[in-house]
């Protein structure tokens, strides 16, 4: 696949993977992208997962058409991209490995060698001349590992963005970009909003016509759309108007309250209400929805003197991922000890700039007149 006259796509699609990074379901597989820039000198941009080394080398050989690569640029050392580096260096013993000092340290850790004698260490702003193309390296630490660099080709105005602007899903499956890019972003990069903001500021100074990420499609149209979404996500601002209700329910009574609240919110004019049972919904999808909207309702039960485990995991995951700047409402259920709201408040203390709604719904086993009136008051407060 041709990206520009001189830049070819040589990545692979993975439909065998069950869990990306050992935890994320990827029903449409995963793409490990790699590119080659053919100029007077030839640069290969990143490798792929070790399960696809042969296919990647074959894609590379076809693009090279008898030439030999001069450089392998390693932007990120996570094994989905670094898994074929060692084989590459054996097949092409004259190629120089180009990367950050931190990445070379990681190569020592992962491979037992840092390719001394054939390494080119690049720092922020360093340039590599290939002929007509000049590559400029941009530090992108914590997007989402500390060694990450991005690369700008000023000739074709291409930004090689490492994991940035990536998404779940292989490239031979048609699907909406934002949904799986958002789930990917908040799951994998979400904690590092500050570093993403820093990179976006650097990118704003460049004339970018194409973004070549390490996952997901190459982006070449309406780049403002993608850049704006990344700005919203990394600054922890809500993306869409609406309310997300996340609940757990043991016998259905908390579920009934959550669903009734959803109905009332819609009736009272809330433009979008999303609802999820945390025991059955993909946790990464629920995390994505919590970040998408400005208001989150949490409904759960007392359980073993704490809260239902899926709710604890959900709140802890949000907190780990830097959840902030949101309004949160609480619904608690307990047959003999109503303590869930107190536990949730405690867990939420680690989230910055979170406002708890004044009205808390207290359910003793099942909805009754008192809890129904609290539910009504909460719906009023959230749609005011
Ligand atoms: Fe796609 Fe952070 O690896």
CATH number at residue 20: 3.60.15.10
Quote the radius of gyration of the chain (alpha carbons, Å).
Answer: 24
Residue 246 and residue 170 share a domain: no
C-beta of 133 in contact with ligand 1 (< 6 A): no
pLDDT tens-digit series, residues 237-287: 999 999 999 999 999 999 999 999 999 999 999 999 999 999 999 999 999
Q: Is the pTM of this model over 0.85?
A: yes
Evaluate: CB of 163 within 6 angstroms of ligand 1: yes
Task: Decide if 344 is inside a domain.
Answer: yes
Task: Give the Cα separation of 354 and 347 in Å (integer).
Answer: 12
* 31 in Cβ contact with 80 (< 8 Å): no
Tokens of 21: 């990074």
Give yes or no: residues 22 and 109 share one domain: yes
* Residue 204 and residue 261 share a domain: no
Pocket flag, ligand 1, residue 167 (CB < 6 Å): no
- From the CB of residue 369, how many other CB atoms can be counted at a distance below 10 Å? 7
Asked whether residue 75 is domain-assigned, the answer is yes
Q: Are residues 202 and 292 in the same domain?
A: no
Answer yes or no: do 220 and 356 share one domain. no
Rounded-to-integer distance, Cα 374 and Cα 370, Å:
6
Residue among 247, 137, 146 at smallest CA distance from 191: 146
Tell me, in angstroms, the distance from the centre of ligand 1 to residue 139's CA.
16
Q: Separation of 309 CA from ligand 1 center, angstroms?
A: 29
Residue 377 pLDDT grade (very low, low, confident, very high; cuts 50, 70, 90): very high
DSSP lists the bridge partners of residue 366 as 364
Which structural domain range is residue 250 located in?
Answer: 240-382
Same domain, 87 and 221: yes
50 & 96 share domain: yes
Task: Give the domain-ending residue among 174, 203, 234.
Answer: 234
Degrees, nearest 5: CA angle 253-244-282: 80
Contacts of 384 (CB under 8 A, 6+ apart): none
* Total domains present in the chain: 2
Q: How far is the CA of 82 from the centre of ligand 1 (A)?
A: 9
What number is the average pLDDT over the span 35-52? Answer: 98
Q: How far is the CA of 83 from the centre of ligand 1 (A)?
A: 11
Please indicate, yes or no, if residue 331 is contained in any of the structural domains: yes
**Closest ligand 1 atom, CA of 144?**
2
Least confident segment among 141-145, 310-314, 378-382: 141-145
Write down which residue in 212, 234, 256 finishes a domain. Answer: 234
> Has residue 100 been placed in a domain?
yes
**Residue where one domain finishes, among candidates 234, 250, 276:** 234
Task: Decide if 152 is inside a domain.
Answer: yes
Do residues 356 and 345 make contact, with C-beta atoms less than 8 angstroms apart?
yes
How far does the centroid of ligand 1 lie from the alpha carbon of residue 154, in Å? Answer: 24
Contact 315, 343 (CB under 8 A): no
Cβ of 76 less than 6 Å from ligand 1: yes
The 8-class DSSP code of residue 268 comes to T
Q: Are 206 and 355 in a shared domain?
A: no
Give the ligand 1 atom nearest the CA of 78.
3
Residue 300 CA to residue 347 CA, distance in Å, equals: 13
Q: Do 213 and 248 belong to one domain?
A: no
Protein residue closest via CA to atom 2 of ligand 1 = 78
Instruction: Say whether both 195 and 269 belong to one domain.
Output: no
Q: Are residues 146 and 189 in the same domain?
A: yes
Does one domain contain both 174 and 63?
yes
Per-residue pLDDT tens for 196-231? Answer: 999 999 999 999 999 999 999 999 999 999 999 999
Does residue 211 contact residue 227 with C-beta atoms inside 8 Å?
no
Residues in CB range of 108: below 8 A, 6 or more apart:
114
| Run of H or E including 347 | helix 340-348
Q: What pLDDT, on the 0 to 100 scale, is given for residue 109?
A: 98
DSSP 95: P
Residue 1 lies in a domain: no
* Contact by Cβ (8 Å): 147, 166: no
Q: Is 215 in the pocket of ligand 1 (CB under 6 A)?
A: yes
Q: Is 2 a domain residue?
A: no
Q: Is residue 307 part of a domain?
A: yes
| Ligand 1 center–CA 182 separation, angstroms | 15
User: What CATH number has the domain bearing residue 270?
Assistant: 3.40.50.360
């Amino acid at each position: 696949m041709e990206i520009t006259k001189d830049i070819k796509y040589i990545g692979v699609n993975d439909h065998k993977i069950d869990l990306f990074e050992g935890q994320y379901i990827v029903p449409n597989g995963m793409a490990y992208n790699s590119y080659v820039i053919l100029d007077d000198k030839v640069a290969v941009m990143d490798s792929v997962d070790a399960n696809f080394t042969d296919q990647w080398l074959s894609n590379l050989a076809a693009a090279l058409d008898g030439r030999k690569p001069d450089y392998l640029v390693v932007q990120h050392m996570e094994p989905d991209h670094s898994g074929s580096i060692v084989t590459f260096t054996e097949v092409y013993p004259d190629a120089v490995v180009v990367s950050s000092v931190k990445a070379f340290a990681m190569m020592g850790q992962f491979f037992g060698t840092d390719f001394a004698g054939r390494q080119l260490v690049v720092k922020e702003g360093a340039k590599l001349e290939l002929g007509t193309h000049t590559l400029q390296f941009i530090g992108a630490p914590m997007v989402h590992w500390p060694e990450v660099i991005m690369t700008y080709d000023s000739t074709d105005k291409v930004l090689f963005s490492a994991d940035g602007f990536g998404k779940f899903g292989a490239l031979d499956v048609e699907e909406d970009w934002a949904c799986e890019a958002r789930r990917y972003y908040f799951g994998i990069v979400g904690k590092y909003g500050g570093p993403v903001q820093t990179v976006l500021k650097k990118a704003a100074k460049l004339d970018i016509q194409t973004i070549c990420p390490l996952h997901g499609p190459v982006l070449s149209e309406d780049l403002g759309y993608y850049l704006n979404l990344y700005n919203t996500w990394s600054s922890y601002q809500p993306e869409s108007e609406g309310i997300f209700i996340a609940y757990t329910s043991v016998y259905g009574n908390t579920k009934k309250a959550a669903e009734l609240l959803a109905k009332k919110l819609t009736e009272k004019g809330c433009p979008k209400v999303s609802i999820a049972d945390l025991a059955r919904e993909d946790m990464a999808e629920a995390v994505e929805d919590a970040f998408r909207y400005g208001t989150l309702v949490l409904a759960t039960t007392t359980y073993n003197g704490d809260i239902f485990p899926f709710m604890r995991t959900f709140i802890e995951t949000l907190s780990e991922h830097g959840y902030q700047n949101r309004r949160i409402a609480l619904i608690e259920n307990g047959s003999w000890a109503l303590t869930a709201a107190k536990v949730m408040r405690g867990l939420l203390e680690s989230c910055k700039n979170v406002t708890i709604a004044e009205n808390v719904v207290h359910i003793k086993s099942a909805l009754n007149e008192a809890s129904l009136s609290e539910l009504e008051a909460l719906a009023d407060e959230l749609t005011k």
